[in-house]
Amino acid sequence: MGTRKRRLLVLGGAAVVFLMASPIAAWAQGAEGPSAETIAIDTVWTLLAAFLVFFMQAGFAMVEAGFTRQKNAANIVMKNLMDFGMSSIAFWAVGFALMFGAGNALFGTSGWFLSGGEGTFDSLSWATPPLSAKWIFQVVFAGTAATIVSGAMAERTKFKAYILYSGLISGLIYPIAGHWIWGGGWLATRGFLDFAGSTVVHSVGGWAAMVGAIMLGPRIGKYGPDKKPRAIPGHSMPLAFLGVFILWFGWFGFNPGSTLAANELAAHIAVTTNLAAAAGAIMAMFTAWMFGRKPDVGMTANGALAGLVAITAPCAFVEPWAAVVIGGIGGVLVYFAVKAFDKAGVDDPVGAVSVHAINGVWGTLAVGIFAAPRLVEGLTNVTPGLAYGHGLGQLGTQALGVVAVAGWTIVSAAIVFGLIKATVGLRVSREEEIEGLDIGEHGMWGYPEAFLGPTALATPEAIATARNGVKAEADVVHPRI
């Protein structure tokens, strides 16, 4: 036998051995379980989705910075950076265990510091990626819940208070509510559906934001002597809209990524997600145009976000036409919710409560109305929606979950904020709020030239002069009463 033939035989034999040992051959022979290729693809998809959701932190930062005044811009981006830092450590240490660890119907009791392996987190066993990929996907959700609170409490919250409550929300409040629904807890066993977090993430963040805004009180100048709300314009609508585009982009990781698998359902969810966002923006614009006589820029931006929040729970369970209806109603709701909270004395600079709490509730209830029979078939204790003639059963389950999570979040957030207020303090001084949190909390403005001038240096004298100028101007606009 020639040398060339021997080489061909050796290579051919090696190829046969490799194929017989490979997951493709195992699959072809009927072996149980997903192939290594399936696991690898699902893992890459889950990681990519997690990275998209992480990028939403930048989106939240830009929305919040744009909707508020330039004297607080550095403080806002600092908060959005550090709340994810705090969330990462808190969720690794205790939050992930409380949410997904083996335990009882109320909370997990094992898996602290990501210990115990796959078996400890059996509630995630339905997904093929490894535990580390599941954790990184879930931690970016925890960071989202925490960062929602920042917007409603912007421009008057102490930085150290923000650091404290970010860790407590992501490490305690959010995970316990999440366990009830995604960790095999009592709502999950009743058939409550929230595919990607209208309630778990957005309502939790939104209700906590409402409590924080109420306990802080409104910004100086928000309400006039007649107690009527006055607009405090943000410093950059282009920056805010950049944030909206980033969030819309990131939501393609948030919702489709919650499949934790690269499959047909993820594509369906991408369609429903996009349609709801588009409908939300359109309907918010037309609602503002009709009732406010102008196609308001800020309302339109929040309309897109409202549509995205509303579709987050039902994205996997509804048809595309229903997604348009859900997102469109979300856009209308956010307009009237912003007006109502303003009138009630709740100063929310970015509309976070209206976007996340109100539309988180609406999206969760929408599952009970629009869940399509073909998309919920086979799910335990779940019935199709009211729109398909299947009664109020699923809608009742959804309402129960909404009320339970709202109650838990409001009470626990009130305790957290109350303790912080009684110890380190929650709100900055009047002088610091007037100067801006950039200089008071961090020692420098985010836009130094706006305060020091284009040629000034950051000397102690120049900074002191600029601060005195801000105070003098503010005393004319906001005199002490």
CB 283 within 8 A of CB 332: yes
Query: Rounded to an integer, what distance in angstroms lies between the CA atom of residue 107 and that of residue 99?
Result: 6
What proportions of the chain, in percent to the nearest 5, are helix, strand and coil? 75, 0, 25
Inter-residue contact 445 to 71 (CB < 8 Å): yes
Look at the chain and count its residues: 481
Token readout for 284 is 């918010």
For the chain, 481 residues long, give each residue's pLDDT as a single digit of tens. 454 444 444 334 433 333 333 333 333 333 478 899 999 999 999 999 999 999 999 999 999 999 999 999 999 999 999 999 999 999 999 999 999 999 999 999 999 999 988 889 999 999 999 999 999 999 999 999 999 999 999 999 999 999 999 999 999 999 999 999 999 999 999 999 999 999 999 999 999 999 999 999 999 999 999 999 999 999 999 999 999 999 999 999 999 999 999 999 999 999 999 999 999 999 999 999 999 989 999 999 999 999 999 999 999 999 999 999 999 999 999 999 999 999 999 999 999 999 999 999 999 999 999 999 999 999 999 999 999 999 999 999 999 999 999 999 999 999 999 999 999 999 999 999 999 999 999 999 899 888 888 777 777 767 777 777 666 555 445 544 3
**Integer Cα distance of 65 and 57 in angstroms:** 12
pLDDT the model gives residue 463: 74
b/e string for 102-120 if b means 16 or more Cβ within 10 A?
bbeeebbeebbebeeeeeb
Q: In whole angstroms, what is the distance from residue 38 CA to residue 23 CA? A: 9
Residues 403-406: contacts with CB within 8 Å, 24+ apart? 404/180, 404/187, 405/177, 405/180, 405/181, 405/199, 405/200, 405/203, 405/204, 405/207, 406/203, 406/207, 406/357, 406/361
Please work out, in degrees rounded to the nearest 5, the angle formed at the alpha carbon of residue 259 by the alpha carbons of 256 and 260.
Answer: 110
pTM of structure = 0.90
3-state secondary structure of 157: strand
Q: Is 245 exposed, middle or buried (0-12, 13-18, 19+ CB in 10 A)?
A: middle
What pLDDT, on the 0 to 100 scale, is given for residue 22? 36
Q: Provide the pLDDT for residue 9.
A: 45
- Alpha carbons 471 and 248: distance in angstroms, whole number: 39
Whole-number pLDDT of residue 449: 85
pLDDT given for residue 452 in this prediction: 80
Query: For position 213, what pLDDT does the model report?
Result: 98
Tokens 């510091």 — which residue? 113
Q: Would you say the C-alpha torsion 326, 327, 328, 329 has a positive or negative sign? A: positive
Nearest to 154 by CA among 30, 59, 69: 69
Specify which residues 229 forms β-bridges with.
223
Q: Tell me which long-range contacts 411-414 makes (C-beta under 8 A, separation of at least 24).
A: 412/172, 412/173, 412/176, 413/169, 413/173, 413/207, 413/208, 413/211, 413/212, 414/211, 414/215
Q: What is the pLDDT of residue 16?
A: 35
State how far the Cα of 475 lies from the Cα of 395, in Å rounded to an integer.
53
Bridge partners of residue 426, in order along the sequence: none
- C-alpha to C-alpha distance for 380 and 78, rounded to whole angstroms: 44
Per-residue pLDDT, 450: 82
| Residue 366 CA to its chain's centroid (Å) | 19
Q: In the Cβ-directed half-sphere of 229, how many Cα atoms lie within 13 Å?
A: 18
Q: What does the pLDDT read at residue 465? A: 72
Task: Report yes or no: 303 and 328 within 8 Å, Cβ to Cβ.
Answer: no
